[in-house]
Amino acid sequence: MGFSTSLQGQSAQEALLIRQDAEIKLLESMKRCLALKVKSDREYASTMSSLSLQVKKAERYDDLFGSLINQSWKDIMDSIDQTAKLIKQQADSMENIVVEQISNLYSERRRARKAFQEEHIWLNNQFQQLTDDVARKKTEYQKNLEVYKLARSKFEEHYINRPGKGGRKLDDVREKYQKACRKLHLTHNEYVLLIGSVTECEQELRTSYLPKLLRRQQAIHLEFIVTWKGILQDVVKYSDFTSENFLEIRSRMQAAVDSIKPADEYKDFICKHRTRQAVPLLFTFAENLDDAPGTLLPNKLAIDNLTIDWLKSRLNELEILMKPIQASRNENGFDTSKVAIMDYTIEREQIRLRCKEKKFLREAGIIRSALNELGCEEVPSGCDLSMADPFVEQTSTLIKKKFLDNGMLSLRRNKKTKSPFKSMSSINESNNEGASLKVIRKLSHMFEQVSCDTDNSSIYEKENGDLINEDWFHGVLPREEVVRLLVTDGDFLVRETTRNHECQLVLSVCWDGHKHFIVQTTQEGHFRFEGPSFTTIPELIMHQWNSGLPVTARSGAILKMPICRERWELNNDDVELMEKIGRGNFGDVYRAQLKTSQTEVAVKTCRVTLPDEQKRKFLHEGRILKQYDHPNIVKLIGICVQKQPIMIVMELVHGGSLLTYLRKNSSLLGQTELLSCCRDAAAGMTYLESKYCIHRDLAARNCLVSLESVIKISDFGMSREEEEYIVSDGMKQIPIKWTAPEALNFGKYTSLCDVWSYGVLMWEIFSKGGNPYSGLTNTQARERIDAGYRLPAPEGTPEEVYTLMLRCWDYQPENRPHFNQIHSAIEALYRSYLRSN
């Protein structure tokens, strides 16, 4: 088998041209790479030589007198210098011999390719010319045949329909008829002769010239490969670092290392630098602190109303801290003989625990001793600080600031709520409370009490009850969704966000991009931007919209069109959660009821504590589902974003997951019921494929079963509305055993990846809820799939069904069937089983 017998087809010859182009590019790439290798080797050799020279200059032999390591290092650096010279020699040979040969081969390969292309074009032109000649003669023949038919019909009309009538008219018709007849016969003969000659010519080109051309090309290709192989052999030769010269240098380096005797290395050093044992460090209390009051003595605890509670608290804290440390030390005893000599990790941890324990014991001992000397539990007399003292004022200010920063600012804004705090003067007057420490504790307790009394509802919902009824208020809709809604300059809406644990209202406007303005609050509890303030948010927004003034002078943003909530944006209060029925990646799943229609629904909730990025991913499923309407796709009813928690409201599919359904009813399910499940899933996936939606997580656990045993595809959290999707966030949460190889290996998802997953889903259905690749880890399953392993057919699976599974598991995505083909095949099998039953 060779070129002349196997490559005569037009596509094969074009493929040969493409192969020649690829070989030319490969030669060009090799030439470029080898040139870079020569450059790199020369630079490497130059760097090693320079390094060796610099090391020799920088060595301080006085400090390393008598060091065997130093002498060995010197010998090694000399050997490295010799190695650099050899590498440079090989690089020179590589450039002068190998790169030159590749350049010549590259030029010859291009000339050969050009010659073959010219012959290929000439041959195609010859075949085309023969085809055109035949086509032209055929057209001429058909034209003369039409003329002949017309002349004949006219002649018959005069001769047959008007018998006995002669005349000039009949003679003209007869003459035209005879002329057309002669011309037709002449053209017919020319056509016959042309067919014969063209056939001979085509056979000569095809059976003689073309095989000779291909045989010559094969000989040229083989000759090139022989030359090419020789060049690569030279590449190996001049890249070999195991030649005798290199081995000799290596032997010298090894001898230099062998000359080192570790026991003798530090003898002279120890004798020269012998010293006494280390002197301990001394830590003393600084006694020259002139500003300290006389009651504060060095190395003695100050026990008064300012410190006694703290000391007792600190003592309890130390006792609590010591328990886990002592338990850890007792449990984690270690044998130093089993620890690597340079691994200080365990020993260092033990030292840390011992030091910590001793510090705590010392602190506790000092505190107990001081309290025992006091001999009572009462607060000793001392200088009580009044509330006017700067320390108390500063502490109360810090507590107040912390309180306000934690999102309780609305208490100050609320006009109807009286201040829960006594005035500072009244606190100051109650001297029977005694120490300022108690005042601070009381103040802190009062702030904490108010914090506990505040619920999780939006502060703006409390203060602006009408705001939630405004169509342009979108609640806690994430910024990503907001940007999607605002498309024209002047479009605006209001939403709620959280910054630094504080709820804030934000006006989002499309204006030269997207701008977001935080609603400012005045000391009187009014709301404003840069202009006048208003008592409610709706009044502020209406003023800004009707006045046509920019929100801020710097932005120039003007409100033109309020963007109302979409029809699928529901009010959280319209949904009544009834019973928890599951748990998802983002929160819990509930059976719930819509108050407006008394309809039972399923509700997915998003945990309030999740970051905004996770909330956006949570809403992604709702955005996918809202545009789909198919009996085998779970229906979206709405999304609740008016306040936390965000919720996705879907139809309630009472039968639960397909996986649970298969396992519970395994004994009741026949082939027809199993095929019905496959058919429903295929119908749903056919619809998704037509919408360019890649599900990415198709499995029995993510399909639901209705009371009528209809299968519905659900869980679109990983879906993407693209023809092709490239993963960029790693392999987190990817269902390995359901995912196609190209998605696992290259992160590339298409609808054909869902086809692979559908094959696994079919296997789950016919195994009645079995675990695919049971007994194999994800890594083992992935490796075996790449090696060609496929799941065996579940017991009782029809041969046609398993054949379809294997087609879905073809390693090459383009060889897998599309979902419309799968659905047609399953539908045909299903009808066949219905008829047979």
Q: Is 604 annotated as a binding residue?
A: yes
* DSSP-derived secondary structure for 169-194: HHHHHHHHHHHHHHHHHHHHHHHHHH
Q: Is the peptide bond before 631 cis (omega within 30 degrees of 0)?
A: no
pLDDT, tens digit (0-9, with 9 covering 90-100), for 572-594 = 888 999 989 888 778 888 999 98
d(CA 661, CA 594): 27
Q: Judge contact between 563 and 491, C-beta under 8 A.
A: yes
d(CA 447, CA 462): 20
- The answer to whether 715 is a known catalytic residue is no
Say whether 584 counts as a known binding-site residue. Answer: yes
pLDDT at 329: 63
pLDDT confidence of residue 713: 92
Per residue in 394-425, is it b (16+ CB within 10 Å) or e — as a string?
ebbeebeeebeeebbbbbebeeeeeeeeeeee
Report, as ranges of residue numbers, the positions in the chain whose pLDDT lies below 50: 1, 334, 336, 338-339, 375-463, 721-722, 725-731
Q: How many CA atoms lie within 13 A of 681 on its CB side?
A: 29
**Per-residue pLDDT at 758:** 96
Nearest CA to 752 out of 823, 685, 658, 824 is that of 685
Q: Is 759 annotated as a binding residue?
A: no
506 is in an annotated binding site: no
Is 586 annotated in a binding site? The answer is yes
Q: 589 labelled as ligand-binding?
A: yes
**Residue 581 annotated as part of some ligand binding site:** yes
The pLDDT of residue 78 = 86
272 is an annotated ligand-binding site residue: no
Of 41, 81, 680, 697, which one is the catalytic site residue?
697
Question: Sign of dihedral through CA atoms 529, 534, 540, 542?
Answer: negative
The whole-angstrom separation of Cα 98 and Cα 271 is 59
What residues does 569 pair with on adjacent strands?
A: 639
* Identity of the amino acid at 9: G
The predicted structure's pLDDT at residue 209:
87
